[in-house]
Amino acid sequence: MIYLDNAATSFPKPPSVVKAVAGVMDKIGGNPGRAGHKGALAGGRILNRCRELAAEYAGLSSPDHVIFCLNCTDALNMAIRGTLRVGDEVLVSHAEHNAVMRPLMGYHDAGKITVRILPPDSRGLLSPDTVLSAITPRTALMVLSHASNVTGLIQPARDIARACHSQGVPLLLDAAQTAGTEDVASVHADMVAMPGHKGLLGPMGTGLLLLGDQMLPRPLREGGTGSASESLRQPTMLPDRLESGTANLPGIAGLTQGLKFMLAHRAAIAEYEHILSEQMRRGLERVPGVTLYTGPASLPHVGVVSFNIDGMDSGDVADRLNRAGIAVRGGLHCAPSIHAWLGTTGAVRASVGPFSTEADVDALVDAVRRIQRQQ
């Protein structure tokens, strides 16, 4: 199978990731923070090391501001639900994932908050001036998808953060498609949600919420933390405030190794994925009857290329590619707002990763050409 669905989850993983997951299951018996025996202490050291690596990548002042989550959706919910209050207004871009829009619209429909979707320019970019002019005294949060999981287009997040901060509005950055390849620290977002299983190269079922010094969301879950056990109230200090229950130690051990691999090779991975995605874009442009949804090639992108074959349903194309041994994703990609802006009812998304090859890209282009001819 040629795997070109890295925007959903990266595959394959570095061997060190697989080894770390298995190693915890096989060799470490203990629940971090719940005992003082060597197994529990070894697990605690794994958690601490993962926090340190994530804090290094994100430029945080303390590893304690790294919160372990179930996934990026969990991190986004934790940030959104833990920050907003009744009467607040939230600004979002046109390209947000349902992991952002569904919790926000649930509050909006219940009359608790107001959600405003800001329009992009003709290229698909959200202007910092548009954000600045949209801010009102009620604006409590700006949520921004750093890069679209449909077009791959990277937003000017640093300038948008600057515009928000000039008015005292915090920025929540959804780094689902940029964590591991882009310099998220330079954005200076107040909260950053990351999946562990995509560009950070860790296992599924892992995610991170990274908190700036001024951010202290209310807990999404409360319960045992292994700390302050004499109290019936949730601890207030980070990370315990937001991390009730047993941690996914095997997953976090794998994520630790994924972070190590990423930090050692980030610049090379980003450049390589850019080269492959440009090869894919140029190849698909030459196939008659193919429409691309990538935006101008001159703008910065992650390794995502979405397209349609004229007259064919995206799900059918994805199925035919699957039968040809190529894994991609068809449909709306849990991002209906940007598909509405693009004027599509779905698209085929191919996404490269650090272990994709030029031959993989050529095989996809050839397969799309055959499908187009045979329809």
pLDDT category at 271 given cuts 50, 70, 90 is very high
Torsion-angle region of 350 (φ positive above 0: left; ψ -120 to 50: alpha; else: beta)? beta
Give the three-state DSSP class for 6: coil
CB 53 within 8 A of CB 259: yes
pLDDT tens-digit profile of 214-266? 999 999 999 999 898 999 999 999 999 999 999 999 999 999 999 999 999 99
Q: Which pLDDT score is estimated for 295?
A: 86
What is the pTM (predicted TM-score) of this model? 0.96
Instruction: Quote the pLDDT of residue 45.
Output: 96
Distance CA 142, CA 341 (A): 20
Residue 316 has pLDDT above 90, yes or no: yes
226 phi and psi angles, rounded to 5 deg: 80, 0
Which residues on adjacent β-strands are paired with residue 305?
Answer: 350
Average pLDDT over residues 161-168: 98
Q: Is pLDDT at 34 greater than 90 in this prediction?
A: no
Instruction: Give percent of the chain above pLDDT 70.
Output: 100
In the three-class reduction of DSSP (H, G, I as helix; E, B as strand; rest coil), residue 217 is classed as coil
Which phi and psi angles does 334 have, rounded to 5°?
55, 25
Domains of the chain: 2-9+266-374 (3.90.1150.10), 15-261 (3.40.640.10)
**Share above pLDDT 90 across residues of the chain, in percent, rounded to a whole number:** 96
Q: Report how far residue 210's alpha carbon sits from residue 67's, in angstroms, rounded to the nearest whole number.
A: 6
Q: If you average pLDDT over residues 300-316, what whole number do you get?
A: 98
Instruction: Confirm if 163 and 317 have CB atoms less than 8 A apart.
Output: no
- Band of residue 29 on the pLDDT scale cut at 50, 70, 90: confident
Compute the average pLDDT of residues 297-320.
Answer: 97
